[in-house]
């Protein structure tokens, strides 16, 4: 993610790139959020003359509360005078509790990490068996 060189953030960035492909014109700008382990990713593109901006929070917490999303919903100044279309999203591990978040907020569940009870677990890809190993 540039700023965040942690392997967990690298896996999250791969998942973000699958959702917001550069092929579709998306540009991804990662930022660290304060002193916490969470990260905010600014994703933007120009689509038919309209600037679209997505502020996405990447968190690895079991319970995602409203105070965590406060920073992504705070609008930032645009210096070029345009009026962009703004979207907000959160990316969390599988089985995270998102029940306190607003229903209109886009929530992406990571495929690389999930909660097994209270423990955060890395979900590894299954090993393919080749015919010569069988």
Q: Tell me which of 94 and 71 has the higher pLDDT.
A: 94
**What pLDDT score does 133 carry?**
53
Q: Residue 107 phi/psi, 5° resolution?
A: -120, 125
Confidence label for 131 from pLDDT (cuts 50, 70 and 90): low
What is the C-alpha radius of gyration for the chain, rounded to an integer number of angstroms?
17
Neighbouring C-beta atoms of residue 40, cutoff 10 Å: 17
Q: Is the pLDDT of residue 89 over 50?
A: yes
Q: Is the pLDDT of residue 134 over 60?
A: no
pLDDT digits (tens, 9 = 90+) for 7-26: 888 999 999 999 999 999 99
Closest CA to 70 of 102, 35, 93: 102
CB of 12 within 8 A of CB of 28? no
């Amino acid at each position: 993610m540039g700023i965040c060189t942690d392997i967990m953030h690298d896996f999250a960035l791969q998942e973000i790139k699958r959702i917001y492909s550069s092929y579709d014109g998306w540009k991804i700008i990662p930022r660290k959020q304060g002193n916490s382990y969470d990260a905010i990713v600014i994703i933007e593109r120009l689509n038919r003359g309209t600037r679209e901006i997505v502020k996405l929070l990447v968190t690895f917490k079991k319970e995602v509360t409203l105070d965590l999303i406060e920073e992504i919903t705070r609008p930032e100044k645009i210096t070029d005078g345009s009026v962009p279309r703004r979207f907000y999203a959160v990316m969390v591990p599988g089985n995270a509790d998102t029940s306190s978040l607003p229903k209109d907020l886009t929530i992406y569940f990571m495929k690389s990490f999930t909660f097994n009870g209270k423990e955060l677990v890395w979900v590894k890809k299954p090993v393919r068996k080749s015919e010569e190993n069988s």
